[in-house]
Every structure is written in structure tokens, then in C-alpha cells.
Chain A
């Protein structure tokens, strides 16, 4: 105890650490290795949240430096500050401290990809107008060298008005120490000079900002003049008068659109800088690069796309099986062990039938979901998803959209929530809303549990040609989702959301080798989100359903079966009849029978109906609820859930799960919007309740109708 007072703590260290950490914003073009650099600098000390009011993700992390720590904010990858998309608007707003709840950064770390310095320098020139301490991390240096590009860093620094430039390789880590050393002093770096690419614009804006007062910064005036920020644009006209602003604009831009003139002016300068600082040796194109170039050609690319889709399917369903078997065995063994240990009572039933059967039936799908996300993340990281948008533009045109809607739609095969956020790159609001409403139709990973359960239980595992029947049914369900989504987009684009033909002007990233650390961090994130849902929403629903199914307890003496038919039945059958009767008169049974008439035309009994209703907040809950209902309802624990479903009957002994009923149920799940998170995301992204409400009513109706038609027609045959 006494010794501890002797411990000497370097005072300088504490003093700085305990001050509020300075915030640095990390910004650059997409695919510049920005995320890799972010992970390299912060390690695992990072958090992900949304910027308030918008669904743009805010990644923050701590960089530990010699004797201070910095807060690093990773901003979305952008090409310009023109406010063309939500990403670009939020980046500018964050840097300028216009976002509530986000500290204004005291410095900028701009990431420029040495192999794409042309677009990098354009953004750089715009960022220099922000007048805050700025540094450059020149990434992909090794890739540039491999491509025969050499860059004179001193000349580059000079061209940018003397701001520090650090060449780094995020892969080898070369140059990272120098960058960190530089970051330590970033707040002391001088404010950048007027960018050299268009001094007339900067100087005009500078003068006006001084004239207009303290709440006008140079960038605000520039955005007002360029007409890239409606708020500032309107206020500037108000303050100076329309004639003065018109005069200024025609002097700066002639009669061309301001953004076009800006692009011309700045890129002209960028081109001259590149001629000066970059030496590109003609190089023999390597085998790998040639192969990639060849696979980008239309026919090879299309075949490759189909092959990748097939591989993803195959992987999700075959690679995951062994792991799923392990989880299945573990959870049922655990349940049995608990009952054996604690005796057959309310508490052991609660743990075994409620918690373990409920949560376990969802957690079992973790391997499939991780494999699916692994593929999507790799495809995203390599730039391949953007490639597919090029291939699919033609298809999307037939429904009135463009290839820009392809990435959101493909990523909603994993989850609709990030995919709805990914629509923010779509510039036209109508196209964006049509994509947002089409995305929830795509078969997301939460639909997999119910598909997998029903297909495994009711579709024979036999081969049809070289395909498997179960695989074919699943493929059909994916197709059904695509048809629903594209049909919805077509309907909306030719009615409520009719607008000008979308353009398909976008950057196409080249193939990049995925970074293992980045992929691992993203995958870990997705797994955590899934388990968190299983541990919270699904956990609570499973407990609730168990309680409703277990209480009130039936008086066994008065059980209807005990006297009349007990002689002809063995002990096990009596127990099973007992538990069925218990289920019937439980709270859940009573609620279920109240809502049963609504779903009776679809061939669902009260158990299925209550499971479906319980699944409205999160569709994967349905499997947990079925797991709980059938666990409580049966004493024979050696059956798994799909066997229990197969033996479920109506009171008259007819099976409930007939083929038309199961197919109808599958169609219901393909089209119905059972996901509170998706609705909340639509609400935030469209900024109104109208669209989420429409999506919910619309998707639920067509899901119900689809199931009704299939069951009724199927039952007649």
C-alpha cells in the first residue's frame, strides 16, 4: 500500500491525456485503402455508430501516439464536396462541425491513392478551401511502384502549398511510424494556403466571407457560389441581392454550370501537377493484371458473375452444415442435461424449452450468416460489387433504374438495413426511394432460418438432373424475391416515382486484393450484431412465448383424456396428449385461437399463426417461437424441430404442414416485410413515415395474397 505512493507517473503524459482528445477526420476517395489505414492506425480501439439524424455510419477510433491520443473519425469515401449524395454532404458537414453531437475536427488527414492521384488531387484542392490543418497520407505506394509509377513527394508537397505529405503502405506498414509522428503535431500545422488550382474563386470567396461576418467561412461562400449547398445559396442571395450574386457567378463561371467549370479549372491544374511530379515508365503488363482485365470483358464477366453466385449458394449450404450440426447437438444436449439435473419442473422447462430451445434455434444459423457475409464483404472489398453494377445496368434499365441500384440490391441478400443505407450513392431521390422499397424483397440472411427449416423438413432431398431439389426450391425463393423487388421498382417508377431517365455516371473501382484485417473486422461486426439480436430481441420473445405457453397450468386430474382412452394408450402418448391439451388452454393457445381465423384461409393453425405474428418485429423470431411452442408441447425431446413440424396435426388428425401450406408459407416469407429495423431505416432514409408504412402494408398484403392463392389452388389439386 505504502509503496504505491512512490510510483512516479510522468506528469507531462497525464496532463495531455486527460485533456479532451483532439479529433482528426480521415477523408479521401473510395477504394484508396482508407479503411485499411484507419484499422492500421486505431487497431481494435474503434466504435461504429450513426451520425445523428442520418444513417451514414460514423466510425471512430483512438490513435495512441507517443504522449497523446487522437480521436480519428473515418468519413465516407467521396470524390468531391459537391453535395451530389448524402455521403458528400455529411463529410463536409462533419468537417465543418455542422453536425450536432460531433466535435469539429481540429485537423484533416487526407488519403490519396498513389495509383489514382488524378482524382485524389481534385478532392484535395477542394478540401484546402476548408482552412483547417491538413496532412496527406499517400497510400498504395507499393502498388504504384509495381505499376512503374514514381512520385516526387517533395514536388507534390510544394504543389499543395507546403502541407506535409507522408508516403505509406498500409499493407507492409512502411511509413506508418513517420505518419504517426506527424499526426502528433497536426494541430500545430499551419492552415493551408489558397489552393493553386483556382485562386480567383478562393480569393473572391475569402473577400466575401470577411465582408459577410464571422458565421461565413470561405467554404460556405464557395458552396453558395457553386450552388452545391441550397441553404448557403439562398442566404447569400438574400444578403447580397440577386443581381450581385448573378454578376459574381457570370464573372466566375460564364454561362456554364458552376460545377462543370470547377471540374475544368481544377483538373487542368491537377493534370499539370501530375505531368510535373509523376514519372510513369511503360511497363510490361503482368499476368495477373491481364487476367483481371480479361475478366472485365462483357462475356467473361457475366459468366464469372454467375459462377460467383453459384459458389456463394453452395458455400452457404454445404460449408455451414457441420458447424450447424455441432450447435444443434450442443443446445439439445444442454437442454436435456438441465432437465435431468434440475428435475421436470417449471424452472427447468423455462431454461430448456424457453431459453435454450428458443435462442438456440436462431443461433444455429450463425455459421450460414457468417459465410454469406464473408462473401459479400470480400466482393465489396475487391471492388467486384461495383463491377456487377456495370453488368446489370441493362437489366435495371428495364425497370426504370440504373446499375447504381445493383449494389444495394445485391447487398440486401445479406441484410436490408446496410443495403438501404447503401442507396445514398444514388443521386436522384425517386430512383433512391424505388431502390429502397425494392431492397427488402431480396432474400436476406434472416429469411434463411425459416427457409432452411421448412425446406429441410418438407422438400425431399433428391436430385433433379445435376441439381438438388432442395437447392432448386431455395433458388426459386431467391428468384421470387428478385421478381417481387424488380416488379415493385417497375411499378413505382412508372407511377408515383416517375422521373427523368437515370444516368449511370459513376466511378468503377479496379480489382483490389482484400485486406484480411479489414474483412475480419467487418465480419466480426456482423456476427456481433446477429448475436446481439439473438441475445436481446429473440431472447425476450422466446421467454415471453414460453411464459404464455406454460401458464396457466392445467389441472392434470381434470384432463379430458385421462379416463376414457387412457387404457388403450401407453404412458408416453398420454403425456403427449396432456401437453397438447395444456398448450390448447395456455394463454398462447387462447391468443392463437383468437387470431387463427385470419390465417385459417392460408392453412395455418393457431401455432403457426402465433409464431408468424410474433415474428413481425424480426422475422427470424418465428423459428425461435416454433422451437419453443413445439418444445413445450411435446415430451419427446429426441425429435428435432423439423420432425415435430412434420408430425403436427389438426384436431381431426390431418397433417397441418401439407405441401400447399408449406409453399404458401414460404411465399409469405419471401414477400412479407417482417423487420422493425428495416422499417426504422426506411423511415430515417426517406425522412417520412409514408414510405415505411406503404412498404409494410404493401409487402404484407402481397405476402398474404400469395400464400392464400397457393394454398387454395394447391388444396384443390
Chain B
């Protein structure tokens, strides 16, 4: 599963990052690195770009880059009442 597969409100742990993309490296510099917990905040109209939240900050990225982040879902927005 990748970051691109999360639904708004889902939280997940970042497992492995494919660094062969300058956009991905930029995201890592902004703090999106292995072992942190992230939350899918918003998906723009049309399904792209995405907004990912972590440690009180947010970044935007496109699906193309999001697919390079392998994740494990922790919490699904649809399974809990208050996300």
C-alpha cells in the first residue's frame, strides 16, 4: 500500500521510500521520512494533489510522488467515528 491509496482522514506509518525522484527528496527534506506517522488531510477536486499532515505541519504532493512512499495503515477514517 502507498500514500496514494489513503482516504482523507486515514493515518498511516511510513515504511519505505523510493528516493529516485527529486520531488520525493524535497518531501524528505520537509520531514516526510521513514517511521513517522502521517495523516491524509485532503485530496483536491479531481483526486490530485494530496495534502499530508505530520507533526503539526502539512505538505502537498502529487500522486506520482505519493506512490513512492510505502505505508501501513494505522487507522481508517471510515472505521472510527471521530478522526
- Residues of chain A whose beta carbon lies under 8 Å from any beta carbon of chain B: 79-80, 82, 84, 115-119, 122, 147, 149, 256-257, 259-260, 263-264, 267-268, 271, 274, 296-299, 302, 389-391, 393-394, 402-403, 427, 501, 503-510
Q: List B residues 54-73 near A (Cβ within 8 Å).
A: 54-62, 64-65
Q: With a CB–CB cut-off of 8 A, which chain A residues contact B24?
A: 260, 505
Which residues on the A side are within 8 Å of B26 (C-beta)? 84, 427, 503, 505-506
Task: Specify which of B31, B41, B56 is in contact with A267 (CB 8 Å cutoff).
Answer: B31
Q: Given A256, A504, A508, which contacts B62 in the complex, CB threshold below 8 Å?
A: A504
Cα of A355 to Cα of B55 in the assembled complex, Å: 59
List the B side residues contacting A394 at CB < 8 Å: 44-46, 48-49
In the bound complex, do residue B56 and residue A263 qualify as a contact, i.e. CB atoms below 8 Å apart? no
Among B8, B22, B45, chain A packs the most CB atoms within 10 A around the CB of B22
Bound-complex Cα distance A271 to B64 (A): 27
B28 on interface, CB distance cutoff 8 Å: yes
Contact: A259 with B25, CB < 8 Å? yes
User: Is B75 in the interface zone, CB < 8 Å from A?
Assistant: no
| CB of B81 within 8 Å of the partner chain | no
Q: When chains A and B are docked, how far (Å) is the Cα of A501 from the Cα of B56?
A: 29
Given contacts A393-B48, A402-B62, 19 further A-B contacts (CB under 8 A): A116-B57, A117-B55, A259-B25, A260-B25, A263-B29, A264-B28, A264-B33, A296-B42, A298-B42, A393-B49, A394-B45, A403-B49, A505-B23, A505-B24, A505-B26, A505-B27, A505-B60, A507-B57, A509-B58
Docked Cα-Cα span, A697 to B59, in Å, equals 39
Q: Are A393 and B45 in contact (CB under 8 A)?
A: no
User: Any chain A CB within 8 A of the CB of B30?
Assistant: yes
Task: State which of B25, B49, B54 has its C-beta within 8 Å of the C-beta of A504.
Answer: B49
Assuming the A-B contacts A79-B29, A118-B57, A263-B33, are A503 and B42 also in contact, with contact meaning beta carbons closer than 8 angstroms in the complex? no
Q: What chain A residues lie within 8 Å of B1 (beta carbons)?
A: none
Contacts of B46 in A (CB 8 A): 394
CB neighbours of B41 from chain A (8 A): 296
Chain A residue nearest to B48 (CB atoms) is A394
B5, CB-defined interface residue at 8 Å? no
Task: Write out the residue numbers on chain A whose beta carbons fall within 8 Å of the beta carbon of B29.
Answer: 79-80, 82, 84, 122, 259, 263
| Chain B residues closer than 8 Å to A260, beta-carbon distance | 17, 19, 24-25, 28
Chain B CB within 10 Å — which of A147, A394, A402 has the most? A394
Q: State whether the Cβ of B15 lies closer than 8 Å to any Cβ in chain A.
A: no
Whether the Cβ atoms of B44 and A510 lie closer than 8 Å is no
> B77 in the interface, Cβ–Cβ < 8 Å?
no
Interface size class, chain B: 35 or more
Instruction: Report which residue of A116, A302, A390 has the largest number of chain B beta carbons within 10 angstroms of its beta carbon.
Output: A390
- Are B57 and A393 in contact, with the CB atoms below 8 A? no
Distance in angstroms from B15 CB to nearest chain A CB is 13
Interface of B is mostly: mixed
Report, nearest first, the 10 A-B pairs whose CB atoms are least far apart. A503-B23, A118-B55, A263-B28, A508-B58, A505-B26, A260-B19, A505-B23, A267-B33, A505-B27, A298-B45
Q: How far, in whole Å, are A505 and B54 apart by their CA atoms in the complex?
A: 14
CA distance in complex: A85, B60 (Å):
17
B60 and A403 form a contact (CB under 8 A):
yes
CA distance A510 to B74 in the complex (A): 24
Query: Is B43 positioned at the interface, with any CB of A under 8 Å from its CB?
Result: yes
Task: Indicate if the CB atoms of B19 and A298 lie closer than 8 Å.
Answer: no
Task: Output the nearest chain B residue to A267 by Cβ-Cβ distance.
Answer: B33
Chain B residues in 8 Å Cβ range of A82? 29
B56 contacts A264, CB within 8 Å? no
B60 touches A506 (CB 8 A): yes
| A683 to B36 Cα, complex, angstroms | 43
A285 to chain B, nearest CB (A): 10
Q: List 21 A-B contacts (CB under 8 A).
A: A117-B55, A118-B54, A119-B55, A149-B56, A257-B19, A257-B25, A260-B17, A267-B28, A267-B31, A274-B55, A298-B42, A390-B42, A390-B60, A393-B44, A402-B62, A403-B60, A503-B22, A503-B64, A505-B23, A506-B60, A508-B59
Separation of A298 and B23 alpha carbons in the complex (Å): 23
Q: A118-B55, A260-B25, A263-B25 are in contact. Are A504 and B60 (CB under 8 A)?
A: yes
Cβ contacts under 8 Å, A296 to chain B? 41-42, 51
**Min CB gap A405→B, angstroms:** 13
A506 near B59 (CB under 8 angstroms)?
Answer: yes
Bound-state CA distance A425–B19 (Å) is: 21
Could you tell me if A508 and B51 are in contact, using CB atoms closer than 8 angstroms? yes
- Distance in angstroms between the alpha carbons of A302 and B43 in the assembled complex: 13
* B41 nearest CB across to chain A (Å): 7
Instruction: Assess the B22–A118 pair: CB atoms within 8 A.
Output: no
Quick one: closest B residue to A503, CB to CB?
A: B23
Q: What residue in chain A is nearest B19 (Cβ atoms)?
A: A260
Give the most central of B21, B42, B43, B49: most A CB within 10 Å.
B49
Instruction: Tell me if B64 and A118 are in contact (CB < 8 A).
Output: no
Residue pair B60, A302 in contact (C-beta under 8 Å): no
Q: Are B55 and A116 in contact (CB under 8 A)?
A: yes
Q: In the complex, are the beta carbons of A256 and B19 less than 8 A apart?
A: yes
Contact B56 A115 (CB under 8 A): yes
Q: What residues of chain B lie closer than 8 Å to A393, measured between beta carbons?
A: 44, 48-49, 60, 62
Chain A min CB distance to B30 (Å): 6
Which of A117, A264, A501, A510 touches B34 (beta carbons < 8 Å)? A264
The answer for the CA separation of A402 and B34 in the assembled complex, in Å, is 26
A115 nearest CB neighbor, chain B only: B56
**CA distance in complex: A82, B59 (Å):** 18
| Residue on B nearest A147 in the bound complex, by CB | B56
Q: Which residues of A contact B31 (CB under 8 A)?
A: 118-119, 122, 263, 267
A263 — which chain B residues lie within 8 A by C-beta?
25, 28-29, 31, 33
Given A260-B25, A298-B42, check contact A503 B34 (CB 8 Å).
Answer: no
Q: Which of A259, A271, A427, A509 contacts B36 (CB 8 A)?
A: A271
Please state if B58 and A507 are interface contacts (CB–CB under 8 Å): yes
Complex-state Cα separation, A391 to B27, whole angstroms: 19
Q: B62 — which chain A residues lie within 8 A by C-beta?
A: 393, 402, 503-505
Residues of B within 8 A of A117 (CB): 55
State whether A503 and B65 are in contact (beta carbons under 8 Å apart), knowing that A263-B33, A271-B35, A274-B55 are contacts in the complex: yes
Q: How far is the CA of A390 from the CA of B46 in the complex (A)?
A: 12
Report chain B residues within 8 Å CB of A403. 49, 60
Which B residue's beta carbon lies closest to that of A259? B25
Expressed in whole angstroms, the minimum distance between the Cβ of B17 and any Cβ of chain A is 8
Residue of B nearest to A296 (CB): B42
- B54 CB to closest chain A CB (Å) equals 8
Min distance, Cβ A411 to any Cβ of chain B, angstroms? 18
Contacts of B30 in A (CB 8 A): 79, 119, 505-507
| Contacting residues, chain B, for A509 (C-beta < 8 A) | 58
Minimum Cβ distance to chain B for residue A511 (Å)? 11
Q: What are the residues of chain A within 8 A of B51 when measuring CB–CB?
A: 296, 390, 508
Query: Least Cβ distance of A82 to chain B in Å?
Result: 6
Interfacial chain A residues near B8, Cβ < 8 Å: 297
Contacts of A501 in B (CB 8 A): 64
Shortest distance between the CB of B55 and any CB in chain A (Å): 4
* B30, B43, B54: residue with the most chain A Cβ atoms closer than 10 Å: B30
